[in-house]
Chain A
């Protein structure tokens, strides 16, 4: 069981370039999330998708867009990368309908914008 799979694992971008981070889960979860992790700030929610066909902004959505392609896949796009977007990005999924919705995380994407 693969769980949550993210690609790529590492990426270096030049300022102004665009890229899409891919995420897929095989646990039939309804909800998916994108977080960024920065030193001393924990994980902050960028966007989430409560169910297929819906997306909503989280705490730090500026500079990002998302697509919930189907129930399995949730991508994060940086249209014009900036150095402030240098971070580690984690995708997660869960089933909020459960009594205690545990989130499962992918391995992360380490992005550097130069």
Chain B
């Protein structure tokens, strides 16, 4: 069974700092990879996704993620965070064509200090 690890449970940054959130998955086959964001009191929204092609994926709000197959990683990055980026971030994975849908990591709470 696939699993997803997010090693950073809570990250605190000041505005304009750079962000990198780690995500590792355990599945040897082809996978689709996702980052979702949950702003306080809201539902999950898709930030970006990867399934093939360029391993550097750009998403909304200036976020990007890099798929490194040899490391089973899909880390999320942003060069300069804003206070409005305060949220919980979830990495998720599924197998192409699988109806069992997404396996989520435990999430990383990002707090950006003004």
Interface residue total, chain A, C-beta cutoff 8 A: 28
A107:B101 contact, CB within 8 angstroms:
no
Decide if A31 touches B43 in the complex (CB within 8 Å).
no
Interface size for chain B: under 10, 10 to 19, 20 to 34, or 35 or more residues?
Answer: 20 to 34
How close is B52's CB to chain A, nearest CB, in angstroms?
Answer: 8
Q: Is B90 touching A43 in the complex (CB atoms < 8 A)?
A: yes
Q: Bound state CA distance, A40 and B103, in angstroms? A: 14
Q: Provide the residues of chain B in CB contact with A43, threshold 8 Å.
A: 44, 90, 102, 104
Q: Please give, as numbers and ranges, the residues of chain A lying within 8 Å of B42 by CB-CB distance.
A: 107
A50 at the interface (CB under 8 A from B): yes
Q: How far does the Cβ of B25 sit from chain A's closest Cβ, in whole Å?
A: 13
Q: Which of B49, B90, B98 contacts A42 (CB 8 A)?
A: B90
Interface of B is mostly: loop
Q: Which residues of B contact A45 (CB under 8 A)?
A: 100-103
Residue B29, interface by CB 8 Å: no
Asked if A103 and B101 make an inter-chain contact with CB atoms under 8 angstroms apart, the answer reads yes
A105 pairs with B43, CB closer than 8 A: yes
Interface, chain A (partner B; CB < 8 A): 31, 33, 35, 40-45, 48, 50-51, 56, 58, 90, 92, 94, 96-97, 99-103, 105-108
Q: 8 A-B Cβ contacts within 8 A?
A: A42-B4, A42-B107, A43-B90, A48-B100, A50-B99, A58-B100, A96-B101, A107-B42
Chain B interface residues (CB < 8 Å from chain A): 4, 6, 9, 32, 34, 42-46, 49, 51, 90, 94, 96-107
For the complex of A and B, the 6 pairs showing the least CB-CB separation, nearest first, are: A50-B99, A42-B104, A43-B104, A42-B106, A100-B51, A105-B44
